[in-house]
Amino acid sequence: MKKIAVLVSGRGSNLRALYGAIEQGKLDAEICLVVSNKSKAPALEFCRNKNIPCQICKLKDFESREAFFDHLAGIVSLSGANLVVLAGFMMLVTPNFIRHFPNKVINIHPSLLPSFPGLDAQKQAFDYGVKISGCTVFMVDEGCDTGPIIIQRAVEVLETDTEETLADRILTVEHDTLWRACKIMLDGKVSVSGRRTLIKEEQ
């Protein structure tokens, strides 16, 4: 069975959705490890309740970001993970971390990249007045939300939306999109050509 390592910083909403997809038989995989850089992240309590192996790894315990991420790469490597998912992990990973797992680190972002990268993407979209927003799953590179795109899903911005209702509806779509991206990645259906990802269709 293929293994997924998940890096989190907060509540772990996408982690929970990914676990749910596995439980429902949608995704043939196991979450072999969850690592949080925040000791009080609610995601850790979820892991303990579900007997998912989890660890806390804090930046302040290391001399540098490079040392932190080198240690993190070692932990993930030992877990045997076939895929690394950043699910609300609020740190930019280092180039060396990415080199440990070439084309195997993915992230999910609550906008249609390259529009509205970085923090508060839903607020950025709402304030700008776009008619369509959504979410993006992409391969992580050395930039901030700049890697090759795997899947994008659109969400219409309604005239009755508030920033909060838009964010909630995008999050619901995120939950359905992330496991689908994990599935095609673990099935070996995604290849990269420059900035483009090529997804092999079912025969």
Catalytic, out of 71, 100, 109, 175: 109
DSSP state of 114: T
- Burial of 158 per CB tally in 10 Å (0-12, 13-18, 19+): exposed
Cβ proximity of 8 and 35 under 8 Å: yes
**Distance separating alpha carbons of residues 154 and 89, to the nearest angstrom:** 23
Residue 71 among the catalytic residues: no
Q: Are strands 149-156 and 132-139 parallel, antiparallel or unpaired?
A: antiparallel
Active site residues: 109
